[in-house]
Every structure is written in C-alpha cells, then in structure tokens.
Structure 1
C-alpha cells in the first residue's frame, strides 16, 4: 500500500521493548508480525533496557530482514548508560530512522519525533520557580517541547504523526500510581501539538497506563508500551495498528 494509491496507510506502533543482551530471538517474532501488518513500523522509546551498545546490537539483529520502513525515538532507558549517541548510530546503521527533534516523510506520512520529558499535567505541572535544580528540570521539558515544535513546523504532508516516549496528556497514564504521574509526561508537550495539529500522537513509557485518550482538540493519543499491550491483549497482537487515509490518487 502506498500514499500515491489513495488507499489506507497502516502504522504499526510499539514501545518499551527493553531489549537486553539476552533478548536474542525474543523480539523478532513480534517485530516481524508488526512489520508484516503495516506499511510503516514506529517504536516509541525504551528500545534497550540500560542503553548499552550491546543491547542495541541485539535489537538490530532482531530487526534484520524487516521490509517496512522503521522510525523510532529513544526513551529514558536508552539514556541510562550515557551511550545514547552510540545506540542511535547502531540502530541507524540497521536501517532505523531515529528522530530527536527531526521530522521525516515515510509513505506520504509526515512523522515528527522527540523523547519528551517529565513535569506533570495541567494545573499540577511543575513550574520553573525556586532552586536551580527545579528550574533545570522544567527547562528540559521546555527544550523538548521546542524541539517538537520545530520538527512539526517542517512537515507539509496532509497526514502527520508525532512520536514521543513521554505522554503529552494525563489520560494515557491513568492506571499508574498517582505519585509518579509527574514523571510520566508533561502538558507542555501538548502545546506544540495544538499549534501544529497532527493526525495522531503515539507514546510509551506508562507500562500500567491507559491505551488511548484525546488531546483537548480531539486528536487521538495512543500509549503503545509493550507491557500494556501484553496485559490488554494476552493473545496478541502486542502492537497498535493505526490506519490513516492515503493521499488522493
């Protein structure tokens, strides 16, 4: 299927693979099933468990032979060991387009991607006030939101997707302990998505969250964390299939 045919474009989405050095052969069946079901495969962070190059090499082998284009963002676990640049390089060499404030057009769909960050939602969002550490924490979220806005502004396609690891809304983290909500996403990530509307937003991170919600403008938001998919659909599939209209023929 292709946008030029005027037919539906299918996006298979999954997150939080947490690939370890012992994951040989574990993830390949899931990834093959997802790629076969879709025109594009997207992965929303925590691709590795500790952000180790060895883990990234295992994941690269699990992805080998997939025919669908693959687009991804990193998550907090991919930053854990400080080797995020090397993880990105390994996955890029394996054919994955890893976004960090960039955008790409695949099969006629524009995709903007960032990791995102924490901060909380709505009137409970952390403000940049007080100690320098608090201000730096909020600045990280604002910087990620600016990166997302820049990526979205470059898209010109009728159908657009935003990939994040952290959630831009509270609805898709419901089910997690209330105490950790501020560490699961931030409403500040929703702001650029309101200025530059998209067809859908896809994220992960909230393993015990809710699979879908909507932004205040009605745009759907999907939580595709693999532990959540496995819990909701024990018999599979353990990914989300999102269909978007293709371009007019």
Structure 2
C-alpha cells in the first residue's frame, strides 16, 4: 500500500536581525496549514547573536508543525553558536549537524556543508596550509553528511544543507564567488544514497531547481529565490 505523501515547507536565509525588522510569524502560521513539516536551511540569524535566535524562537511560536533546521555561515559569525543552538533547540527545533531525525516515516538528514567549488574547478588540497585547512573543512563536513546518511532507515530522505551541492542552483550569482557557495563533494556523497530531494540556501541570487549528477532533485530555497508558488518558501512533496 502506497505511503501517504508528506508535504514539506522549505525556506532558508531568514537572516533574523536584532532590530526585529525581519518577521516571519505570518509565514510560519501559513505553512502550518499547508505543510506537515517546516525545514529551515541555514542562516537563521543575521550575525549569529543569541538575541537574534531568541527573536526567531519567539516568531516560531506561530508554527504548529515539526521544525527541522541546519545552521548557516551567518549563524557562526559572532562565535556564540552554542548559545544559538541552545535557544533554537529550546524552541522545539530539530537542529541537525551531521545527524538525522525521522518524522512520520521520512528521514531528515542535515549538515551545514562548506565551500570548495564545483566539478573540475573544485579546490584541491595543495599548497599553503591555509588552503589545505579549507579543503579539510569541506571534507570533514562531507563526512558528517555521509555518517548521517548511513543512519537513515526510511525509504524516503530529505537532505538539508546550507551550502549548495551543485553549480546549477547557484547560477545567477557572480561566477567569481561560485567556489564560496558550495562544493561538489556534497553531491558525490548524496549520490551514494537513496535520496528523495535536497534543499539548500546561501546563494541568494541562484536558481530554484537542479539535479545532482546521480539525478537527485536539488532545490535552492533561499527566501530571496523566486519559487513556483510565488512565495518565500517552497512546498515539496515526499
């Protein structure tokens, strides 16, 4: 017997500011009536300040469905990530960092990801220690994703990243910054597993839809990206 489809509302790059100028209460209430799960793909705060996280936690009170998220680069800016994580988990957010959670038969797998570039232009571990350290960070994030994927027992899985796993969904951004928007290493890992879809953010001027080399659907759900529904978030059926 076919399993009932799950509707996921996915959004990224909320960039909640300390001055309260970004307010998503209405959106969170709206998705609660349209979807079964809310997914947030990083850059939840603008500067990684605990007060920004507290403002987001307050806004999430209007969301009555399960909430799953990963952090983005902005959430690390102030070096207070542990406090940000504590606040968001206290607000009921399933915050994933190289981990997974199963909700109603669907596995949600999350990692921040990292930069490094795409395809034959991907940065290699050669030269100065700083370059090797950057590549090492990208490899470590990829391993975190792989370890999380190995924990999934469901036949449906949604991968949540902040950085892009393919170049296709960053198209529209200046080519000069592609290496800082994501890495093909993430796609290589994803394609070793059965995946229903992948969501990410980070590329505010990228494209909505693409595919990994292995055929997994990838969606850039940054709030700034134009989506088929004409909304700040995307609705995916798994």
TM-score normalised to structure 2 length: 0.96
Q: Which runs of 5+ in 2 are unaligned?
A: none
Task: Provide the residue aligned with 1:197 in structure 2.
Answer: 194
Superposed CA deviations along residues 171-222 of structure 1, whole A, max 9, x for unmatched, are 0000000000000000011121011221100000000000010011111000
Equivalent position to 1:134, from 131, 135, 157: 131
Q: Which runs of 5+ in 1 are unaligned?
A: 245-249
> SS at 2:187's partner residue?
helix
**Paired residues, number:** 238
1:85-164 pair list within 5 angstroms: 85-164=82-161
Task: Provide the residue aligned with 1:239 in structure 2.
Answer: 233
> Is residue 117–residue 183 contact of structure 2 (8 Å, CA) maintained in 1?
yes
> SS at 1:195's partner residue?
coil
TM-score normalised to structure 1 length: 0.92
Deviation at residue 118 of structure 1 after TM alignment: 0.2
Task: Provide the residue aligned with 2:175 in structure 1.
Answer: 178
> Is residue 49–residue 77 contact of structure 1 (8 Å, CA) maintained in 2?
yes
Change in CA separation of 1:5 and 1:187 when aligned onto 2, cut-off 3 Å: closer
> Is residue 211–residue 224 contact of structure 1 (8 Å, CA) maintained in 2?
yes
Deviation at residue 33 of structure 1 after TM alignment: 1.3
Superposed CA deviations along residues 95-116 of structure 1, whole A, max 9, x for unmatched, are 0010000110012110110000
Equivalent position to 1:50, from 24, 27, 47: 47
Report the aligned-residue RMSD.
1.5
> Is residue 48–residue 78 contact of structure 1 (8 Å, CA) maintained in 2?
yes
Equivalent position to 1:223, from 220, 223, 238: 220
Deviation at residue 237 of structure 1 after TM alignment: 2.1
Superposed CA deviations along residues 72-128 of structure 1, whole A, max 9, x for unmatched, are 000000000011111111000000010000110012110110000000000000000
4+ residue stretches of structure 1 with deviation over 3 A?
none
> Is residue 24–residue 58 contact of structure 1 (8 Å, CA) maintained in 2?
no
Task: Provide the residue aligned with 1:247 in structure 2.
Answer: none
